[in-house]
Structures are given as C-alpha cells and as structure tokens.
C-alpha cells in the first residue's frame, strides 16, 4: 500500500497558513508531509515564498505525528552545505526524529539571488556530490575539514546532533542524478512517474531504499474553476525539468508558458472532484515503484475544503492502490 503525503507549497501560501495546513494534514490522516524551499514563486499568481526552514521549525512544534521533509533544498549556491547540515540537525531535534532532508541540484529561479551565477548542469552535479559528502561527514559528528573543487569547510562541527541523523533524499531526473542518489542518498525523490528513474537508482546502489514521488492536483467541486486555477498557477509544470531549472524569475516562466492552454494543463493535472480521476493520476507512480506519493493541492486559498474532501473520499480511495 502506498503512503500518501501532503505538500506544504511555499510558493502559494504564507508562513502561518502553511503551518495551519500541515496541522490539518496531520488531523486528516496524511501519512507524511513535504515542503518546497523557494526564494520566489514559479508564477506571480502564486504570490508567496516564505523561508521554508522557519516554517518547518514552526510545523515541528505545531504537529506531533506527521513526518516532515524538504522537497527539495539545494545545498550548493544559496546555502552552503555546512549550514544545511546544521539546519537539518536542528530540525531533526525539534521534530523528535520526524525529519528527512530532501536535496537537489536546484533551480536558477531560487539560486541566482545571491549573485554567484547559475552553473551548468555537470557543474551542478559536481557541487551536489561535494555537498552530500560534507553533510554526511558533519552528521557523523566531530570536526570536519574539507577541500573540494567547489566547497571549503574549515574545522566545522555540529554541536547539537540528534541520536539519529536525518535520512537524506536526492531528487533525480536523469542518469547522472540517479547515480549520485544511488551512491550517496538514503532515499530517492522524483516529480515524474518514470520507472527508468527507479531502475537507474537501484542500479547505482539504491535497491531497497525508499522512493518518494510528487503529483500536483486541483480539487474543486466546479471542475471548470479547478482547471482555470491550475492553469493560472501551475502551467509552469508543463515546461519540464530541463526548462524549469534554467529560467530565472516568475516573468520568465510567464513568458515561457504563455501559449499553454487550460486544456493542456488539465491533461497532466487532475482537476475537479471525481475521485477516480485522481486515483488514475496516482496509479502510474505506484506502478513505477514509488512507495510514497505527496500530492500538491493547487491554490493556497483552497486547502481547507480540500482537507474535508480528502479525508472523506481521496485518502480512502488512494489507499486501495
């Protein structure tokens, strides 16, 4: 049976609302939660981008059962990996062992803001590998000195370490990222239900490790309203990862998606309130081998009604998978 998670999407809600949402997700019965980590929304219509780590700290105190996870944090440009390790260790303590650290190679949208430029894909993978090595070394305790091609660490030590370090997940989209994840991660993360990603992850050392996917959905009793909202706030999703990782700001995503039609969005994002449509959208993830699937309810102002519906209809139906 797959586990169904809830996404605190920082691009579409403010910090207090996000904490309220994860509390409600716990009450509704979601199995786990994940949180995006953005400096800017994909599109201006989403309208938000609070600091995810402050939100997670508050969520850790406001909840008692539901697991928490970054989905995902880039530990290479906007954040130094030594600081990511410190944040993750602290959050694991605050949540009493409920935190998993999801990492990825990042997007220009969020990372360019510190003025260091946006490296090419191969360089980003090199940086992610070094970051993973640094974070793992710090989780082991003791002082860490590291001299890499991209990062330096000078006698760093985490003074507040949890008994169990946060499991580390790595987001994948191709062979190289699958190799990094299989070798250095405790679990794999993906936003597409591609069985070849799981196969590649397992080939490189990921066999038997957890596999977590994510799916945007748009519940609304009025299907036309759901399609309109999904198009307004989530048409960026049609760009694909190779495009989405490169564009620098919401204006760029608006321009790149100006010809995406509402019906195009509705083909990839289930909209409305027909539970069967949502089950069929989740099914490819289960069939590809994902054990955990986090849904994103599109629209920060449309979460409360979603929880009512999800508790009564969606979660029972998805747990039949």
Residues serving a catalytic function are: 38, 107
Distance separating alpha carbons of residues 243 and 107, to the nearest angstrom:
10
- Distinct helix (H) and strand (E) counts, the chain: 14, 11
- Token pair for 319: 């747990």
- Name residues whose C-beta falls within 8 Å of residue 297's C-beta, 6 or more positions apart in sequence: 6, 7, 217, 218, 219, 303, 306
Which ranges of the chain would DSSP assign to H, the alpha helix? 15-28, 52-62, 81-94, 108-111, 121-139, 175-184, 195-201, 223-234, 241-244, 250-256, 262-268, 275-288, 304-309, 315-318
Of 102, 108, 284, nearest in space to 197 by CA? 284
Is 240 in contact with 192 (CB distance < 8 Å)?
A: no
Distance separating alpha carbons of residues 110 and 34, to the nearest angstrom:
18
């Amino acid at each position: 049976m797959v586990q169904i998670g809830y996404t605190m999407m920082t691009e579409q809600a403010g910090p207090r609302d996000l904490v309220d949402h994860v509390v409600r997700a716990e009450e509704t019965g979601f199995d786990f939660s994940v949180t995006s980590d953005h400096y800017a929304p994909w599109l201006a219509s989403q309208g938000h981008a609070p600091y995810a780590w402050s939100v997670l700290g508050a969520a850790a105190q406001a909840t008692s059962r539901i697991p928490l996870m970054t989905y995902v944090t880039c530990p290479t440009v906007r954040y130094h990996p030594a600081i990511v390790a410190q944040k993750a260790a602290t959050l694991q303590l605050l949540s009493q062992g409920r935190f998993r650290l999801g990492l990825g190679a990042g997007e220009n949208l969020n990372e360019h803001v510190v003025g260091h430029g946006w490296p090419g894909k191969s360089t980003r993978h090199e940086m992610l590998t070094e970051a993973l090595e640094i974070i793992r070394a710090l989780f082991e305790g003791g002082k860490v000195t590291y001299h890499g091609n991209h990062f330096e660490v000078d006698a760093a030590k985490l003074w507040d370490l949890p008994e169990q370090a946060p499991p580390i997940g790595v987001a994948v989209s191709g062979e190289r990222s699958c190799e990094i994840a299989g070798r250095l991660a405790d679990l794999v993360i993906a936003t597409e239900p591609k069985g070849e990603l799981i196969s590649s992850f397992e080939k490189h050392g990921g066999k038997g490790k957890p596999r977590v996917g994510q799916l945007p959905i748009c519940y609304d009793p009025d299907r036309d309203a759901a399609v309109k909202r999904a198009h307004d706030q989530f048409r960026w999703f049609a760009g694909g990862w190779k495009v989405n990782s490169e564009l620098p700001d919401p204006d760029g995503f608006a321009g790149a998606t100006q010809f995406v039609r509402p019906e195009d969005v509705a083909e990839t994002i289930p909209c409305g309130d027909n539970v069967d449509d949502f089950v069929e959208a989740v099914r490819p993830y289960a069939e590809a081998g994902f054990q955990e699937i986090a849904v994103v309810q599109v629209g920060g102002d449309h979460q409360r009604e979603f929880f009512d519906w999800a508790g009564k209809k969606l979660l029972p139906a998805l747990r039949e998978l």
